[in-house]
Amino acid sequence: MGLVDDYRLMTRIRRFEERLMALKDEGEIPGSIHLCNGQEAIPVGACRTLRDTDYVSATYRGHGWAVARGVDLTALFAEIMGRDSAICGGRAASPYLSDASRRFVGENSIVGAGVPIAAGAALSAKRAGAGDVSVVSIGDGAMNQGNVHEALNLAAVLDLPLVLVVENNIYSEMSRIEDMVRVRQLAERAAGYGIPGRVVDGNDPDAVAGAMAEAVDRARTGAGPSIVEAMTERLVGHYSGDAQHYRPAGEVAAAREREPLVRIRRAADATLAAQLDAVDAEVAAEIDAAVVAARAIPFPNPATVKEHVYA
Ligand SMILES: Cc1ncc(C[n+]2csc(CCOP(=O)(O)OP(=O)(O)O)c2C)c(N)n1
């Protein structure tokens, strides 16, 4: 993957989410959605190091992981619009979508809950013996959840092929990281589990891919789990209706100067800029076509409402 491919994938994620917001404003998406605007380099860099048979799990801010994992765009739009999509039939919507065909174990709206599930996927991968790994992304706030600690400790003692990606965007809902933890970096906690922990620039797909390649290789070769903490910034609210009144003046504007797409654009010479323009047009057409296709998918049949419910 080169720079243009990274740009294409990050742009696909950004435009996908921007269109989601537009569809929400038009009343086509029920409920709130959580965007990863600004954080796109993390799933893009991370998924570059994975093979198709690896497992990926994310949080409710996981659209970027689904797109980077190659989940079909039409299916994603349809799912989030509550239609009878090819992935979850409109039952998962934005915060719980998954795609077994891409081994995208899925998102999870319960903070930190994806980690024990991903550890389970890692245990199954270890037992299967094919060298597959399980990657799970969480936010900085989730590092204080008890089940994350339990799962990491278990993964460490069982040498599970698990890679925990902490997307440190400085905020947990409306609370700043300094108000929640007394360590400088969350990756320092890796020492408590006896596993490696690294901090990377989460706005640089190459930096993310470099750290991930090391962690994934360690997991594949049976050496056990790792933590990769990717430093980044959220360009939008915690959820679609968040006005971000709690953020200091100028913080978001400054973040917009160093976000991953702007960085690539800034460094581009005329030849590269023309290539990026072509990518922008290509992605815009792709998104338009996916929305048209998603709108043609019917809503689920109400008679099936009790299907897939276990009680
Ligand atoms: C177990 C649990 N506790 C609380 C919440 C409410 N909640 C939703 S998102 C969130 C903040 C999580 O922040 P962080 O882990 O940093 O992820 P980010 O939203 O920044 O990606 C909280 C507290 C929840 N969904 N689940």
Eight-state DSSP code of residue 52: T
Closest-lying ligand 1 atom to the alpha carbon of residue 113: 1
Distance CA 107, CA 130 (A): 24
**Pocket of ligand 1, candidates 111, 140, 165: which has the most ligand atoms within 8 Å of its Cβ, to mutate?**
111
Q: Which residues contact 260 (CB under 8 A, 6 or more apart)?
A: 10, 38, 40, 41, 203, 204, 205
309's tokens: 């419910």
Q: Domains of the chain: which residue ranges?
A: 3-304
Residue nearest to ligand 1 atom 6, measured at CA: 111
Cβ–ligand 1 contact at 173 (below 6 Å): yes
pTM of the model as a whole? 0.98
Give the C-alpha separation, 155 to 162, whole Å.
7
Question: What pLDDT was estimated at residue 30?
Answer: 92
Length of the chain: 311
Class of residue 168 by CB neighbours under 10 A (exposed 0-12, middle 13-18, buried 19+): buried
Bridge-based pairing of strands 171-172 and 175-176 is antiparallel
Instruction: Find the helix or strand (DSSP H, E) in which 231 lies.
Output: strand 226-231
Which candidate, 186, 138, 192, 142, places its Cα nearest to that of 162? 138
**Alpha-carbon distance 214 to 163, whole Å?**
10
pLDDT digits (tens), the chain, 311 positions: 699 999 999 999 999 999 999 999 999 999 889 999 999 999 999 999 999 999 999 999 999 999 999 999 999 999 999 999 999 999 999 999 999 999 999 999 999 999 999 999 999 999 999 999 999 999 999 999 999 999 999 999 999 999 999 999 999 999 999 999 999 999 999 999 999 999 999 999 999 999 999 999 999 999 999 999 999 999 999 999 999 999 999 999 999 999 999 999 999 999 999 999 999 999 999 999 999 999 999 999 999 999 988 88
* d(C-alpha 151, C-alpha 232), whole Å: 24
Structure tokens at 44: 């893009």
Tokens at 97, concatenated = 């979508």
User: Given this model, what pLDDT does residue 310 score?
Assistant: 87
Q: Are 283 and 275 in contact (CB under 8 A)?
A: no
Neighbours of 264 (CB within 10 A): 21
111 Cβ inside 6 Å of ligand 1 = yes
- Residue 42 corresponds to which tokens in the numbers above? 């993390």
Whose alpha carbon is nearest atom 13 of ligand 1?
172
Per-residue pLDDT tens over the stretch 24-69: 999 999 988 999 999 999 999 999 999 999 999 999 999 999 999 9
What is the pLDDT at residue 311? Answer: 81
Tens of pLDDT along 183-216? 999 999 999 999 999 999 999 999 999 999 999 9
Tell me the fold of 3-304.
Rossmann fold (3.40.50)
Neighbouring CB atoms inside 10 A of 131's CB total 15
Instruction: Classify burial at 201, counting beta carbons within 10 Å of its beta carbon; exposed 0-12, middle 13-18, buried 19 or more.
Output: middle
Q: What angle do CA 72, 14, 299 make, to 5 degrees?
A: 45
CA distances to 16, 18, 152, 196 from 146, rounded to whole Å, are 33, 34, 10, 20
Contact 205, 264 (CB under 8 A): no
